[in-house]
A and B are shown apart, each in its own frame.
Chain A
Amino acid sequence: MKRKEREVGSMANQALHSRGLWADAWHRFKKNKVAVAGMVFVLILVVISIATLVIDWVTAGEIYNNYVTKTNLPMKLAGPSLEHIFGCDEYGRDILFRLLWGTRYSLFIGIVSILIALVGGGFLGAIAGFYGGKVDNVIMRVMDVFLSIPSMVMAIAIVTALGNSIFNLLLSIAVPQIPRLARIVRASVMSVRDREFVEAARAVGADDGLIIFKYIIPNALAPIIVQASLTVGSAILSIAGLSFLGIGVEPPAPEWGSILNAARTYMRDAWHISVIPGLMIMITVLSLNLAGDGLRDALDPKMKN
């Protein structure tokens, strides 16, 4: 009994000492079951996206053409059945297939566009917050100009000006988010910048780069992560909005938002077409938020015990 306790104790000790910041964060993250569930769901979506891409590549798009986009009018608006678990849409296409094949658009565009926004906004915000004064003023006033344009209008402007392509779509969703993220990064960098440990780091000869990356960003990360994970949700909704206007992902591609928008007309006759993609979007956004929330807690070492 005693030996066992000692073993457990020494294991815990080893575990405490041999990990870095991220490994430590992962250890804490695991304890948060809800966050893990969110993360698992997001990972499942990632796997689905990759799997469908591989299937398309292996079968040369045969399944995509035959099951995802091919119209089958006899099954129009058919409700859920054993053959079509989630039923069929207004052209008789299986909704399950369309949802699976549509995962890649929402997830890829949502995550990548926010990463772009995070890099851009994070860089600008960190510079503005860290150096302050004139640099801060110039950057933030430019950001204010961008903020004054409604994000949907800016997205439409970017896509129509640059043309309709996946990259431009990413850009159109990322750019309106840059000033929002820049503001949050700036505020949280500023709150850390004047803390005493930053001064203490300077007093042992650390340079600006080290201070920004090891002292300020890790301490300023929590609100940024939460905001970014929330923004992924709104990015997915933006794609849906753009698809609705006909400048997002073009039909017949099975993007979730466009399925939902098409289903709007049939809401009274066929509830499943709007409810199921709607639920998918909702669960995805929720999972991202839960995972982001868990990540924030995990990155704070004070939550350890």
Chain B
Amino acid sequence: MAFLDIKDLQVDYVTEDGVVHALNGVDLEVMEGETLGLVGETGAGKTTLAKCIMGLLPQRTGRIRSGEIYYDGKDLLKMSLKEMQKIRGAHIAMIFQDPMTSLNPVLTVGDQIAEAVQNHENCKRDEAMKRAEEMLELVGIPAERAGDYPHQFSGGMKQRVVIAIALACNPKFLIADEPTTALDVTIQAQVLEMMQDLKRKFHTSMLLITHDLGVVAQNCDRVAVIYAGEVVEYGGIFDVFKGMRHPYTKGLFSSIPQIQNEVTRLAPIPGMMPDPMDLPEGCKFCTRCQHATQRCREEHPQLVQVGEGHWARCFLCEQEGKVKE
């Protein structure tokens, strides 16, 4: 059984200019202990999905049109605020994109980790502080620095602190929203390696959101490609990387340089992502797809199984397997 099961999730943002369709029927499942990569370009709905799982959609604008998110057999979207507060941090934790802004500037890092512990565990301040120091050591920061403020840390260390906060209560599921985007490449590698270690140590499942395919290749067991609020392809990491089926996934791969081939110009996907307020009726990718036919513009394709646990949302694959209901 899936550990986290997202079913037909549709999310809108209601703004003054119109309704933004951020997620349009996302189905995903995360198995216990696995890392699922979520790849897509800016504005595809990756962060919306993460916030939706955490129950942190902006209250004023975010609206869930339909869908369920089952965690441990219970629908997170139907939970009360109190129940959700118990889940956040203790069961599901999130690592934010930008470590520079996701720490409270007026609290020491030790206090902030201790706070996360005290939210869920009924323990004294000293015990929480001790735990905070252990967590810091765990992410490779000397425990003596628990009394320092966030601005006294470098970017990479701040991200380690953010990770320490997320892991402070031993969550079973970790959402990492572009955890390394704000870091330079060497620190990025260190942080990712550390996250893998910790994941193995605590047996945590993870949803790794990124737009870096290299990061996905290195860290994930399975990968889902998301485009305009829709999963267009998902499957095992080897299936998708070696035998991608959806034209969008192919486009993504051809827009990164390959070390074996010498090219003077990369082949990016032409055009822009469709305006999320005014999405095409049929396939969301039809405006940029070189294989698009009349049918693509009129009919919305379903996910088709193209291999063992490998699905793609494209009419081109229709003959190959059964359509997901």
Complex contact A21–B107 (CB within 8 A): yes
Contacts of B96 in A (CB 8 A): 196, 199-200, 203
Is A17 close to B, CB under 8 A? yes
Contacts of A19 in B (CB 8 A): 147
Q: How far is the CA of A208 from the CA of B115 in the complex (A)?
A: 14
Complex contact B107–A204 (CB within 8 A): no
* Residue of A whose beta carbon sits closest to that of B145: A17
Is B93 close to A, CB under 8 A? yes
Complex contact A203–B104 (CB within 8 A): no
Contacts of B283 in A (CB 8 A): none
Is B148 close to A, CB under 8 A? yes
Contacts of A218 in B (CB 8 A): 104, 106-107
* Residue of A whose beta carbon sits closest to that of B177: A203
Is B126 close to A, CB under 8 A? no
Is A4 close to B, CB under 8 A? no
Complex contact A16–B106 (CB within 8 A): no
Complex contact B149–A196 (CB within 8 A): no
Contact with A along B74-110 (1 / 0, CB 8 A): 0000000000011111100110101001111111000
Interface residue from A17, A205, A214 paired with B107 (Cβ < 8 Å): A214
Complex contact B89–A203 (CB within 8 A): yes
Is B306 close to A, CB under 8 A? no
Q: How far is the CA of A301 from the CA of B147 in the complex (A)?
A: 12
Complex contact A214–B146 (CB within 8 A): no
Interface residue from B107, B147, B169 paired with A16 (Cβ < 8 Å): B147
Is B116 close to A, CB under 8 A? yes
* Residue of B whose beta carbon sits closest to that of A302: B151
Interface residue from A13, A203, A214, A305 paired with B94 (Cβ < 8 Å): A203
Contacts of A300 in B (CB 8 A): 106
Contacts of B144 in A (CB 8 A): 13, 17
Contact with A along B140-165 (1 / 0, CB 8 A): 00001011110110000000001001
Is B191 close to A, CB under 8 A? no
B43: min CB distance to chain A, Å: 18
Contact with A along B20-48 (1 / 0, CB 8 A): 00000000000000000000000000000
Contacts of B147 in A (CB 8 A): 16-19
Q: How far is the CA of A197 from the CA of B109 in the complex (A)?
A: 12
Contact with A along B195-212 (1 / 0, CB 8 A): 000000000000000000
Q: How far is the CA of A303 from the CA of B86 in the complex (A)?
A: 36
Is B256 close to A, CB under 8 A? no
Complex contact A197–B86 (CB within 8 A): no
Contacts of A91 in B (CB 8 A): none
Taking chain A's interface residues, is the majority helix, strand, or loop, or is none over half, making it mixed? helix
Is B54 close to A, CB under 8 A? yes
Contacts of B165 in A (CB 8 A): 200, 204
Q: A21-B107, A210-B115, A214-B107 are in contact. Are A301 and B151 (CB under 8 A)?
A: yes
Interface residues contributed by chain B, number (CB under 8 Å): 36
**Interface centre among A17, A19, A200, A299, by most B CB within 10 Å?**
A200
Complex contact B101–A197 (CB within 8 A): yes
A202: min CB distance to chain B, Å: 6
Q: How far is the CA of A133 from the CA of B60 in the complex (A)?
A: 8
Complex contact B106–A204 (CB within 8 A): no
Complex contact B116–A204 (CB within 8 A): yes
Complex contact A200–B102 (CB within 8 A): yes
Interface residues contributed by chain A, number (CB under 8 Å): 31
Is B136 close to A, CB under 8 A? no
* Residue of B whose beta carbon sits closest to that of A207: B85
* Residue of A whose beta carbon sits closest to that of B166: A204
Contacts of A200 in B (CB 8 A): 94, 96, 102-103, 162, 165
Q: A196-B96, A203-B56 are in contact. Are A219 and B86 (CB under 8 A)?
A: no
Q: How far is the CA of A195 from the CA of B100 in the complex (A)?
A: 11
* Residue of B whose beta carbon sits closest to that of A217: B106
Is B119 close to A, CB under 8 A? yes
Complex contact A21–B106 (CB within 8 A): yes
Contacts of B149 in A (CB 8 A): 301-302, 304
Complex contact B106–A301 (CB within 8 A): yes
Q: How far is the CA of A21 from the CA of B103 in the complex (A)?
A: 15
Is B168 close to A, CB under 8 A? yes
Is B297 close to A, CB under 8 A? no
Contact with B along A152-180 (1 / 0, CB 8 A): 00000000000000000000000000000
Complex contact B106–A219 (CB within 8 A): yes
Q: How far is the CA of A219 from the CA of B104 in the complex (A)?
A: 8
19 further A-B contacts with Cβ under 8 Å, apart from A201-B104, A203-B56, A206-B115, are A16-B148, A21-B106, A132-B60, A133-B60, A197-B103, A197-B104, A199-B102, A204-B166, A205-B87, A205-B88, A205-B119, A214-B107, A219-B105, A219-B106, A299-B106, A300-B106, A301-B105, A304-B149, A305-B152
- What are 26 contact pairs spanning A and B, CB under 8 A? A19-B147, A21-B106, A21-B107, A196-B102, A197-B102, A197-B104, A197-B105, A199-B56, A199-B96, A200-B165, A203-B56, A203-B89, A203-B93, A203-B94, A203-B96, A203-B166, A204-B88, A204-B116, A205-B85, A206-B115, A207-B85, A218-B107, A219-B105, A300-B106, A302-B149, A304-B149
B binding-site residues for A, Cβ under 8 Å: 54, 56, 60, 85-90, 93-94, 96, 98, 101-107, 115-116, 119-120, 144, 146-149, 151-152, 162, 165-166, 168-169
